[in-house]
């Protein structure tokens, strides 16, 4: 199993996915907290915590999800590339 993950560059793809996911979440959290798109109208009640804490938790979930999607996409692309290379070697 480890050989398969290494051949698909999974660990490198996971690192790239984590960086991209974190940057995406930080960017969206900054847009929200710094009000870069204009002021936010708070008409909702936020239980237990204020809105900033809830949006921080949401940013974490978004970062993890986006990192997973990027990792899966890069790993599938690597698998397709490897399959094409293998089929090209067999046809020669």
Report DSSP state, residue 39. Answer: -
Kindly report the pTM of this predicted structure: 0.78
Does residue 68 contact residue 14 with C-beta atoms inside 8 Å?
Answer: no
Non-local CB neighbours of 18 within 8 Å, separated by 6+ positions: 67
Residue range 81-92, pLDDT digits in tens: 988 988 888 876
Confidence of residue 80 (pLDDT cuts 50, 70, 90): very high
Give the sign of the dihedral formed by CA 22, CA 23, CA 25, CA 29: positive
The full set of domain ranges for the chain reads 2-91
Q: How far apart are CA 10 and CA 78, in angstroms?
A: 9
Residue range 8-26, pLDDT digits in tens: 899 999 999 999 999 999 9
Q: How far apart are CA 38 and CA 78, in angstroms?
A: 41
């Amino acid at each position: 199993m480890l050989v398969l993950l290494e051949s698909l560059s999974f660990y490198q793809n996971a690192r790239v996915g984590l960086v991209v996911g974190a940057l995406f979440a930080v960017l969206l959290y900054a847009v929200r907290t710094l009000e870069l798109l204009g002021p936010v109208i708070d008409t909702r009640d936020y239980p237990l915590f204020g809105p900033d804490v809830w949006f921080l938790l949401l940013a974490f979930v978004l970062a993890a999800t986006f990192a997973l999607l990027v990792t899966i996409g890069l790993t599938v692309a690597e698998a397709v590339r490897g399959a094409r290379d293998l089929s090209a070697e067999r046809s020669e």
